Amino acid sequence: MRRVVYFIVALVVWLVLTWPFGTADSLQVILAGVGAAIIVSVMFHEVMPTEYKFLFSPVRVFWAIIYIPVFFYYILIANFDVVYRALHPKLPIKPGIVKIKTSLKTDAARVALANSITLTPGTLTVDLKDDGTMYIHWINIKSTDTEEATEYIAKKFEYFLAKIFE
């Protein structure tokens, strides 16, 4: 069943990204997409998360659509912060690795949180443990306390990711 689900998802992503409809070579592009989706679903179904139920829930899809602009907002704010630090004459940075503890329960939610943190400039997820502990490289450490660091780094994403993945 997982292979079928990931085949459909891969094919839909292919069709959305290439949008071959109405072009002269649309049949070739669609057949290439079917071939790529078959390869992806056969080779990578073991790597993909087993919790694919979120793909079929309209409520989860709604929260995913809401999450995208929120995520881009935090990326934009973090970009300005990193640019400020890079262009400031005294380079006000205090880099280091901090420990945070997430309240997310599923592996898919934790990985999505780790990726969200990594994609936000100024932070990088270094390690993710099974108990929800993450080690984050932070360009400007504001607190070494686990709860405070979690509040600064992860809480802004956790609310949405819990709605999507849990």
| Environment class of 74 (CB within 10 Å of its CB; exposed 0-12, middle 13-18, buried 19+) | middle
More confident residue, 21 or 86: 86
Q: How confident is the model over 108-137, as a mean pLDDT?
A: 91
What percentage of the chain has pLDDT greater than the value 90? 36
* Domain parsing of the chain, residue ranges: 2-44, 54-165
Instruction: Report the 10 Å Cβ neighbour count for 12.
Output: 13
What local confidence, expressed as pLDDT, does residue 97 receive? 93
Per-residue model confidence as pLDDT tens digits over 27-41: 888 888 899 888 888
132: phi then psi, degrees, rounded to nearest 5 = 95, 5
Task: State how beta strands 96-101 and 123-128 pair.
Answer: unpaired
Q: How many helices (H) and strands (E) does the chain have?
A: 6, 3
Token pair recorded at residue 24: 């002269």
Please state, in angstroms and rounded to a whole number, the distance separating the CA atoms of residues 8 and 120: 30
Token pair recorded at residue 2: 């997982």
What local confidence, expressed as pLDDT, does residue 146 receive? 86
